[in-house]
Amino acid sequence: MPSLRIVVPFIFLLLVDWCSARPLYPLPSRRNDRNRRPLQTFRPYNVAHRGSNGEIPEESAAAYMKAIEEGADFIEADVLATKDGVLICSHDVNLDDTTDIDDHKEFADRKRTYEVQAVNITGYFTVDFTLEELKSLLLKQRYPFRDQQYNGQTLISVLLLLMNLPTKLTCNST
The answer to whether 104 is a known catalytic residue is no
- Give the helix/strand (H/E) hosting 49: strand 47-49
Catalytic residue among 49, 83, 111, 142: 49
Determine the Cα–Cα distance for residues 75 and 169; give it in Å rounded to an integer: 11
Could you write out the DSSP letters of every residue in 55-113?
TS-TTSHHHHHHHHHTT-SEEE--EEE-TTS-EEE-S-SB-TTTB-GGG-GGGGGG-EE
Catalytic residue among 73, 78, 91, 97: 91
The answer to whether 91 is a known catalytic residue is yes
96 exposure class (CB count in 10 Å sphere: 0-12, 13-18, 19+): middle
Determine contact, residues 158/90, Cβ cutoff 8 Å. Answer: no
Residues that are catalytic = 49, 91
